[in-house]
Chain A
């Protein structure tokens, strides 16, 4: 634009009216710029709010309070025949050992209701922790061993500061007597905050303190492998055909229109397709990564095809002419000369497609991947869930501690997505060529 200081000089204007008009126009210009900045600041603020609210809700899921307690691993309870056989020891009644420990530690708790409340301050899966400690070191049998067990989710939130002690007792999830026991343990130095390994090692659970994302991560990985194995070859082959071999006729036009429309079909419709065709017609197993991968492959196919075609288009015709000129056949030219040059672009597109598939939830709900699954999946036909669906399941759970788990799982999912996108960006930077 021209310099405003010259323009606003009065001698350039015939009347005061014109000068006023000019000022008005500049004001409106300034307002317009302000709106533009406002829009961008709004968008950025929303992004910051989104990410920080997730972080604030989720970071507590990465640590966990453990109670370090002394368990009496009596010989007659663990291994009565003194066989030393790990199989016998694995089957021992550790629940009783945990209960004995509580009775010993808090001898004055005798009323039945109080005993129940006392039991509720440590995790209901404590016996499993005692068992694995014993299995790791068989020499502990018959001794008194100090073992760390997780607190229950409610007790854990006391130490994480989510329980307001000033509230009246009946509005609080943790009662006065439980708070007393927890304070006692804490004063004895028996409560310790540790990195929550369980979260990264196990599958889902009904108890928040025992729930982990490993099952969902493995499920996601298996699903993505199926998706990649199907959509990458199919997408690249389709792109090569349409870009390099296809004659221009109605059939190829139809394919092209089709691909563009498929790219815009809502993802849930692919889920309906999977339900009707893969589950009901072909009878494939429900909740399996195989079916999830198939559905996601069909969904990401258009993305990969469009990206691959773009990168094939970017290879200059001189490469093809050069290949044909030295006597290579059409197929040889494409596969020996054009394809290697287009490959980085295709791979970038594929990674972006995979990132999309990793974050997708809706179609997987349709094919039953929303089931409650504790075990870590072992193959592509075993029941599994995936990270986004796990997030959905946890977000629906009433317990406060599951909200934190949801935030934690979202952070893990987002970091996977960030890594995938960074790889895509790096590939593009490293191999991008301007002809």
Chain B
């Protein structure tokens, strides 16, 4: 249906373009110089009149029609349905829509089928109505736009201001995304904090989110103290940094100050490959190659290494971050002015002395910024830890034991069967909010440091 509307609208818009163009040309009987705008702008002008109102209407219809249909179905539904609590009603309506449109409902009951029949009949009415209204609006727009064509019409200015408006709307999408993230996280997290006090979440030492979904189930007590999770995230991030910072920094220094051009042109792209490998591949590598190897090594020297040890996840995460650290530090090191190097060499310092005593101190703020960005990357990384780190929230500093992280918990709480509205699923949003806030703060600080550092040497 939407496809047909789109095709019909497209045809009308094309027709509108040629009508507008043709009318503009004929209104000056072929003498183009008498027109204020080029003929094609008259064409665009009429096309905009034909397309835009119909397009906006279709969008509004797309979002409003389901709500209206729901109202109609509910007004005809039996008492047993209308008295359902809101969440159940939502599931009911989703099933009705699925049955009517040939999707997969969660369950099929006679009530649902009856409602689906009503829904289906009104749905087709709605669709046809929309088709008719959209087409007539497009034709009306075409006629109106065509009637406004005069030689003196400032068609180009109108079209250009429309283009400008569209560009502005597109650029606000970025803002809307942030607003969407903040509000969706905040809204659900606030509902979570209405059940679990904020301080319990932030300072509690016990995390066992398994609660009884139904009254007759035996579930955990539902403790939501996130400290073990934060500690686990911190531990894995720390291990990752111990891998990524020395290797990344040293390879950046070597590549920028020692390596010949030919070595650099080969090694740099190869290091970039590490950045392009999908995280799920690293997760597979961590879980099926690194973790068993570590366990075997540990066993051979008498250490008990958990099969989902923090060490395996941290090491592989560190590998993932190497190219990130190395390319950021490379930028930073190259931004140190050559005059500093020359001065140091002039005093008789060796290359490594210049780097250690002149360049690194000068580049320190930038490197700190780069490391902060890498930390925020590590904290937010999901797939490696989901596949290689544990689920149980142990509060430990031993890297050979299994720990869990914020992202692992978000995934486990939200994947699979979920009762929306339970403290368990809402907890995932509270964790998400924490994650978002922490990475945002790290990024803002890091970007500010890097920027200030750049300005110093520009």
Contacts and interface: CB of A to CB of B under 8 A. Distances in A.
Interface of A: 1, 25-26, 28-29, 31-33, 35-40, 42-44, 46-47, 49-50, 53-54, 57, 233-234, 237-238, 240-242, 245-246, 254-255, 258-262, 264-270, 272-273, 275-277, 280-283, 285, 298, 301-302, 305, 329-331, 355, 358-362, 365-366, 370, 381, 383, 388-389, 391-392, 395-396, 403, 406-407, 410, 413-414, 417, 421
Given A268-B407, A268-B410, A272-B184, A33 B258 contact: yes
Among A272, A283, A361, chain B packs the most CB atoms within 10 A around the CB of A272
In the A-B complex, the 9 residue pairs with the smallest Cβ-Cβ separation, listed nearest first, are A266-B380, A36-B254, A359-B278, A276-B184, A39-B250, A32-B352, A237-B170, A362-B382, A241-B167
Interface stretch (B16-24, B214-222, B395-403, B429-437): B429-437
B319 interface: yes
B242 to A, nearest CB: 13
Contacts of A360: 278
Given A53-B285, A268-B411, A301 B174 contact: yes
21 contacts: A1-B351, A28-B350, A38-B250, A46-B319, A47-B274, A255-B172, A258-B178, A268-B382, A269-B185, A269-B380, A277-B180, A305-B174, A359-B279, A362-B382, A365-B414, A383-B104, A391-B281, A392-B280, A392-B386, A395-B288, A417-B276
A47 B97 CA distance: 49
A273 B181 contact: yes
B171 A262 contact: no
Contacts of A238: 167, 170-171, 173-174
Given A50-B285, A272-B429, A283-B94, A42 B247 contact: yes
Among B104, B246, B251, B444, chain A packs the most CB atoms within 10 A around the CB of B251
Given A298-B177, A395-B387, A53 B167 contact: no
Among B276, B280, B440, B447, chain A packs the most CB atoms within 10 A around the CB of B280
B347 interface: no
A35 B355 CA distance: 13
A245 B171 CA distance: 11
Contacts of B180: 273, 277
B382 to A, nearest CB: 4
Given A282-B63, A406-B284, A392 B387 contact: yes
Nearest to A301: B174
Interface in B237-278: 246-251, 253-255, 258, 267, 270-271, 273-274, 276-278
Interface of B: 63, 66, 94, 97, 103-104, 156, 160, 163-164, 166-168, 170-175, 177-178, 180-181, 184-185, 187-188, 246-251, 253-255, 258, 267, 270-271, 273-274, 276-285, 287-289, 319, 322, 326, 345, 350-353, 355-356, 373, 376-377, 379-383, 386-387, 407, 410-411, 414-415, 420, 428-429, 432, 435-436, 439-440, 443-444, 447
A370 B184 contact: no
B247 A403 contact: no
A255 B174 contact: yes
A29 to B, nearest CB: 5
Given A265-B181, A273-B180, A302 B247 contact: no
A269 B435 contact: yes
Given A26-B350, A44-B270, A262-B178, A269 B250 contact: no
